[in-house]
Copies of this chain bind each other. A is one copy, B any other.
Amino acid sequence: MDALTIHEAAETSGWSPRMLRYVERTGLVTAARSASGYRLYGPGELQRLRTLKELLERFGVGLSDIAFAARLESDGALREAVETWLRSEPQRPEHVSAADWLRFEQDKHEKLLAAA
Q: Which residues of A line the B interface, CB within 8 A?
A: 1-3, 27, 29-30, 32, 34-35, 40, 42, 44-45, 47-48, 51-52, 55, 58-59, 61, 65-66, 68-70, 72-75, 77-78, 81-82, 85-86, 88-94, 101, 104-105, 107-109, 111-112
Contacts and interface: CB of A to CB of B under 8 A. Distances in A.
A48 to B, nearest CB: 6
Contact of A73 (B59, B81, B86): B86
Contact of A82 (B27, B55, B81): B55
Contacts of A29: 91
Given A91-B48, A93-B30, A85 B66 contact: yes
Contact of A68 (B27, B65, B94): B65
A111 B30 contact: no
Given A66-B86, A69-B86, 7 more contacts: A27-B92, A51-B88, A58-B81, A65-B65, A65-B68, A69-B72, A74-B94
